[in-house]
Each structure stands twice: as structure tokens, then as C-alpha cells.
Amino acid sequence: MSYTNFKIETDADGIALVTWDMPDKSMNVFTEEVMKELDAIIDQTTADPAVKGVVITSGKSSFSGGADLSMIKSMFTFQAEERKKDPDNAARKLFDLVGRMTGLFRKLETSGKPWVSAINGTCMGGAFEMSLACHGRVASNAKSVKIALPEVKVGIFPGAGGTQRVPRLTNTQDALQMMTTGSSLTPARAKAMGLVHEVVDPDKLIEAAKAMIKNGLKPVQPWDEKGFKLPGGGIWTPASAQLWPAASGILRRETYGNYPGAIAILKCVYEGLQVPFDTALKIEQRYFTEILQTTEAFSMIRSLFVSMQELGKGARRPAGVPKTELKKVGVVGAGFMGASIAYVTAAGGIPVTLIDRDMEAAEKGKTHSEGLVKDAIGKGRLTKEEGEALLSRITPSADYGDLRDAGLVIEAVFEDRQVKKDVIEKVEAVIAEDAIFASNTSTLPITGLARNSKRPDRFIGIHFFSPVEKMMLTEVILGKETGDRALAAALDYVAAIRKTPIVVNDTRGFYVNRCVFRYIHEAYDMLIEGVPPAMIENAAKMAGMPVGPLSLNDEVAIDLSQKILKAAVADLGDKAVDLRHMALIDKMVDELDRRGRKNGKGFYEYPAKPARKYLWPGLKELYPQKDAGEIEVGVLKQRLLVTIALEAARTIEEGIVTDPREADVGSILGFGFAPYTGGTLSYIDGMGAKAFVELCEKLAADHGDHFRPTPLLKEMAEKGETFYGRFDPYGAGQKAA
């Protein structure tokens, strides 16, 4: 029998090698067709007396990333359709649907023939759950191998047997840690945990997998054998009596109860380990069905799985423009940002010329990359040879003539219009006619900068976030005259350096910074009102933000906040800012010299390591303090999230952001907006425009007019619309500009 996605070869020893190699895909993924074919392969190998055992491996550089986008989407489409057709039985039908993969993997492990998974490259999600159902697992020791059950990161959990097999193979504490964090395991760590049996050199992978079968691998899982005992002794032991309260407390501390999928993992494991395995799988199936019906799961999967992949694959790239093959990129400005941009460009395999005013400054910029490479080698992320190759692609220079053959030049010089004007003119004097010029400005509108260009259609913004090597987001900003070719080239470049782009139209602060500073400014309001600083920071974390607004302001620099406020006043007048905010920041910077982390003192104090930062005690002396017992923490949480979401809604209304996927993904990747919400617009859609407008009006009455809902939101509330419905990213007419 022949298959589309698998190839089967049976050797003289009766071992069937099943190679998973999907045509026209760079990585194997689970689809409806793949599951049907795997089902048929189990039947075929089980029925064939010549087959003594099965090795399943990948014909690609990676094993599999898990479920395909279409499968994930289909679950939510199925729910919506069934709720309309048969609401009383919709949950039962969903329960049956989500049990299909569980049943397939259970069929594999009870087939009576030994199966071995030979893992190369990435093996995540459902692919690792399938591997866990195999009786043996062998992993390559290559650096590229990553093993994980990362489902919690997109709002769900390992629902195809993962929550039951992992804690039956390793101790419960490690099992919970792996699944509730979604963290990747190296092959060595997976072997130490008992999740992988052998780790071998890549060229010995299939040989080792077949040897397991030849050496008498039992076709029965440990939990299916009589007398099976759980690693660590099970639930009702003194050790477990200590573990479970601690595990629940740690999860509450880390997530504040915002992630139903993470809580469900604890429930599945705790309940499942007390019953027979098949009953445990039903418990997992029940919780998985429940989690799939939550707003959090729907929103997180849409933004962090579906939309991120779509944007990363060029969803906003103009059609019909040939792909840009960049043979060389120029970066002007070898300071911290420019040097970091040069590093990620070289890491993406593109030669880069790093320009500064003199060779000493340019070489200092390359030294920054040398430090990053040394750190990456020390942590095992790069080999010495890979690090040397990366550095060889960075050429420091003080001669603008060296940019002559660059297809893209990015300026990352000081945030001053005149300085940037000089750079634009010097670069355009030497680059080819069809080369693209990009500005990494974070504050100056692109359209204004492009007035200094002789070809504004080839002028664009590519806004990186610090630290560049860690932040996965880039904002691609369109000036009024930016053309499709410049946009396509920018998106091709962002794809080459493996970052996620969002495309936004030109405005002061673009998208991310507008939202970030609304968050920070709400903290200013709270400080001025007398809310204790610790309550502000803790309420933000309880709301799901990774860091409090005062801590974030220290990171971006308080004097940068001052510059932005002053620039707004200079351009738009006093009414453009809250003068109380200006007074607070002027006092912090000009009187107290508290500029943030960069000078070791801001809203926080930064003592020498290993001591940890702490809130500056003098902060509470700036304004009369309220009694903490009189302040509603729930309202603080609402204010911090609503003010950001409201600003995101304004950018949609103003036409700055035109695709809701980008507003959501940009808010999460750019500054960590409460990921469980799915992002700023999903936060509004999740509660409904009507409820959001009512909440805004209440907050406006109590805390200021900046909470007033916009005309667009009021209209959406009246019509019962959502952002994803009104601004359908898959509908006709959605263009990049």
C-alpha cells in the first residue's frame, strides 16, 4: 500500500521503517490525512506477520512540530458550527472529536507490535505525544534536537495522552514543570527524565532504533503491565503530600490563575494518576474539551499560533512583487541598537557592513557582536565554527562607499532629525537606484524623515526592539509614499532574520510605543492619586503583564519619557500631554537624576549584584499615600489593561493598524500584553464590545476622560461587532497600506 505522507520499507529482519515526509512542506505536521494514513499503517503493520516491529522517523531535518494550522482552526470552526446546529450536544461532539488523536495513539501502543520513535530535530506537541505512545524512543544528539510539550503557551495543554504518559515515565515534579512551562528539553535531559531511552549520533539513529526491536523490546507499555508503580510512588505518599500544595501555589504565583490550560494540567495529572490508564485518558479528554471552549484558549491559539505563523510567512506581503534576495545589508550607526541589528542580520546568514563616523566606533560595534557570540557559544547555542562564521559576515567601516552594493541599508543613528537627514543624504549618494533605505527610528514619523530622501517610495521604517537579539517583533512602518517593493523587501528581510513583522501606517510612536506609553502613563496617574507603588506593580502582574509599568519605564529610560513628552508639547502644544506627568518626570530626571536602570536609579533602586532591584523608598514620599485597604486591586488591573486596549482600538480607528492580527501579535511580542487574552483587540472581542464600552465609561467617570470609548467602539457595541469580524484579515480588500 502506498501513502502520500509516509514511506514504508521492511528490511530482512522484519523491521518496518516508516518515514514521515510530507510533500510540499518544510516540516511534518499532523493533518486529517496524516492521521488517516497513520491509522492505516498501524493496521497494515499489525496484520502483516512478516513485520516484527516498526521504527517511525522523519525524512526531513526535523521530526515534527505537532498539529497543522488547519487542524487547530477546524476545532474552533467545528465548535461554532455545532453550537448553531445542535447546542445541546455540541460539547459531546467536541469531546468525541478531540479524542480521535488520543484513540489513534492508544491503538498504536496496544497494537501488539513494538514501535520505536527515532527523533531528529524538533519534536513537539502531538508529535512527541505520539513518540511517548511508542514503546521505545531514540533521539539524535544533534544540537538542533528540541523535545517539548509547549501547548500551554498557546492556551491549551497536551491533550493526546501527554498529561498521562509523562508522569508515568518520570517523577511528577519534573512532569509538571515540563508541561506547565512548555519548556524545551535537550536529548540528554529527556533521557535523564526517562522520556527517551537512548541518545545517539545522528548517523546512528535508525540503526539504534532498529537495535531496540532486535534486542527484544516489549510491545507493552509499563502502565499496561500488572504491578506497574508510578515513579516517585504515586499520589498518596508523603512526598506527594508536599508536592501538590507547593505545585498549586507556584502555579498561582506564576500565573495568578489567568491560564485555564495550565490549571487543567494539574487537574489531569492529579486525577489521572489515581485511576487506570484508559480512565485517565478520558479524564484528560474531558478537561481538554472544557479548555477548548474557553475564551483564553481560542484567543491565545488564534494570536500565538495561527496569526504568528501567518504573519511570519508573509501574510501582509504585497502580491506579485518578486522575492528580495539580499546579498548584503548596510547598517549605519554602530551604537547599541545598530550593532545589535548587524548581529541579527549576520545571524540570518546575510553579510553586513557596519558604518560609523570612524573605524574605532565601527569596530566597537562589532565587538558587541563578539560578546554576543561568546555568550551563545558558552551556552551551547552556537558552535565555535558557527560563531566565527557569523562574525566573518560583519565588516566594520567608516566609508559610506562600502554601502555601494547593499540591497538594504538601515540607519540606527541618534534620534535627531538633522543627524538622520545627513545620514540619508550620504547613503543615497552611493547606493544603487533600486536599493531600499530603512530607518530604525522609534519616535520620529517616517513620512517626515522620507522628505529628506530623493526616492520616498523606497524609504521605509523597520523598528527593532531592545534587546534586538531576543525580541521577536519588528514594526515595519509605511510612510505616505512608501511603495510595495520597499514593503516586500522589508518583510523579506525580517523573514530572513527570523522575526515576526507587523505592518503599521505612520504616526507618532507607531503602534507598540503608543500602547506602551499609555500603560506607563496610567501608572503615573496612579502614583499621583496616591496608590502605593508596590500595589501598581503587583496589580500589573496580577493582570497578566510580565513586568510592572514602573519597572518597564526604568528599562526604556525615564529621560526618554521626558524627551517624548517634550517633543509632543513642542509639536502639538501643552494640551497634548498631562502636565502632572511632565512635572513628575521633570522632578525624577532634572531634580533627582533618576533616569532608570541605565544610571542605576529610577522608580527602582539597582544595587550591585547579586542583590535584586527594589522600589525606591522615596517614591512614596512624592505624593500623599492612600490606605491600601481602600483601593480595589481589581480596578487597578482593569485600568492597566483597558488603557492599553483602548489605545490599540484608537490605532485601528485612525487607520494606523489595519489588521487585527498585527495589533494582537504586536502587543504580546512587543511588550507582553497579558498573553492569556490573545492581545489587545482579542481582549476587547473576548468580553464583547458592549461590555468593554460599559467598562470604559465606568472607568472614565471614576478615573478620567482618557478612558472614554471611541466612536468606533460605540458603533461596534451597538451593532454587536467584533474587530475580527469588522476588520476581517481574511476578507477582500485588506491591503498592507
Catalytic residue among 135, 197, 463, 581: 463
**pLDDT value at position 696?**
98
C-alpha cell at 159: 491533550
Confidence of residue 141 (pLDDT cuts 50, 70, 90): very high
- pTM of the predicted model over 0.95: no
Neighbouring-strand partners of residue 476:
462, 503
C-alpha cell at 310: 501567518
- 694 vs 98: which has the higher pLDDT: 694
**pLDDT value at position 87?**
87
Q: Across the beta sheet with 136-140, what order do the strands follow?
A: 6-10, 15-20, 53-58, 115-119, 136-140, 198-200
Confidence of residue 64 (pLDDT cuts 50, 70, 90): very high
**pLDDT value at position 157?**
95
Q: For 205-232, what is each residue's pLDDT tens digit?
A: 999 999 999 999 999 999 999 999 999 7
Location of C-alpha cell 527593532:
464
Q: What share of the chain in percent tops pLDDT 90?
A: 87
Q: How many angstroms separate the CA atoms of 217 and 107, rounded?
A: 18
Beta strand 436-439 with 459-464: parallel, antiparallel or unpaired? parallel
Closest C-alpha to 135, from 152, 162, 110, 104: 110
Of 3-7, 304-308, 656-660, least confident by mean pLDDT is 304-308
Question: 258 vs 32, 295, 297, CA distance in Å?
Answer: 32, 11, 11
Average pLDDT, the chain: 94
- Arithmetic mean of pLDDT, 6-29: 95
Q: What share of the chain in percent tops pLDDT 70?
A: 99
Confidence of residue 84 (pLDDT cuts 50, 70, 90): confident
DSSP 8-state assignment for residue 151: G
Helix, strand, or coil here: 122? strand
Could you give the residue ranges of the DSSP H alpha helices within 273-383? 277-292, 295-301, 308-312, 336-347, 359-378
In order of their start, the domains of the chain are 6-293 (3.90.226.10), 329-508 (3.40.50.720), 513-726 (1.10.1040.50)
**pLDDT value at position 734?**
42
Q: For 392-419, what is each residue's pLDDT tens digit?
A: 999 999 999 999 999 999 999 988 889 9
Q: How many angstroms separate the CA atoms of 711 and 691, rounded?
A: 15
Confidence of residue 453 (pLDDT cuts 50, 70, 90): very high
End-to-end CA distance of the chain: 50
Neighbouring-strand partners of residue 145:
none
Confidence of residue 86 (pLDDT cuts 50, 70, 90): confident
Contact 422, 380 (CB under 8 A): no
Q: For 535-580, what is each residue's pLDDT tens digit?
A: 999 999 999 999 999 999 999 899 989 988 988 888 888 888 999 9
Helix, strand, or coil here: 271? helix
Q: Which amino acid makes up residue 519?
A: Y
Location of C-alpha cell 540570518:
348
Helix, strand, or coil here: 486? helix
Is residue 24 predicted with pLDDT exceeding 60?
yes
Q: How many angstroms separate the CA atoms of 330 and 345, rounded?
A: 10
Confidence of residue 735 (pLDDT cuts 50, 70, 90): very low
Contact 128, 205 (CB under 8 A): no
Confidence of residue 381 (pLDDT cuts 50, 70, 90): confident
Confidence of residue 68 (pLDDT cuts 50, 70, 90): confident
Q: How many angstroms separate the CA atoms of 611 and 285, rounded?
A: 46
Catalytic annotation present for 703: no
CA angle 527, 529, 535 (to 5 degrees): 50
Q: For 501-530, what is each residue's pLDDT tens digit?
A: 999 999 888 899 999 999 999 999 999 999
DSSP 8-state assignment for residue 304: I
Is residue 139 predicted with pLDDT exceeding 90?
yes
CA angle 452, 454, 458 (to 5 degrees): 100
**pLDDT value at position 406?**
96
Of 25-34, 143-152, 564-573, 725-734, least confident by mean pLDDT is 725-734
- 82 vs 58: which has the higher pLDDT: 58
110: CB partners within 8 A, 6+ apart: 224
Contact 468, 621 (CB under 8 A): no
> What angle in degrees, to the nearest 10, is found between the helix axes of 90-109 and 126-133?
50
Contact 497, 331 (CB under 8 A): no
DSSP 8-state assignment for residue 331: E
70: CB partners within 8 A, 6+ apart: 31, 32
- Arithmetic mean of pLDDT, 591-613: 94
- Containing 109, the helix (H) or strand (E) segment is helix 90-109
Beta strand 614-615 with 604-605: parallel, antiparallel or unpaired? antiparallel
Report whether the peptide linkage leading into residue 238 is cis, meaning its omega lies within 30 degrees of zero: no
- Arithmetic mean of pLDDT, 286-313: 93
Q: For 351-376, what is each residue's pLDDT tens digit?
A: 999 999 999 999 999 999 999 999 99
Q: For 412-452, what is each residue's pLDDT tens digit?
A: 998 888 999 999 999 999 999 999 999 998 878 999 999 99
Q: How many angstroms separate the CA atoms of 515 and 511, rounded?
A: 7
**pLDDT value at position 736?**
35
CA angle 340, 346, 348 (to 5 degrees): 105
Contact 419, 338 (CB under 8 A): no
602: CB partners within 8 A, 6+ apart: 553, 554, 558, 588, 594, 595, 596, 616
Is residue 737 predicted with pLDDT exceeding 70?
no
Burial class (CB in 10 A: 0-12, 13-18, 19+), 467: exposed
Beta strand 15-20 with 6-10: parallel, antiparallel or unpaired? antiparallel
Three-state SS sequence of 185-236: ECHHHHHHCCCCCEEECHHHHHHHHHHHHHCCCCCCCHHHCCCCCCHHHCCC
C-alpha cell at 341: 541589528
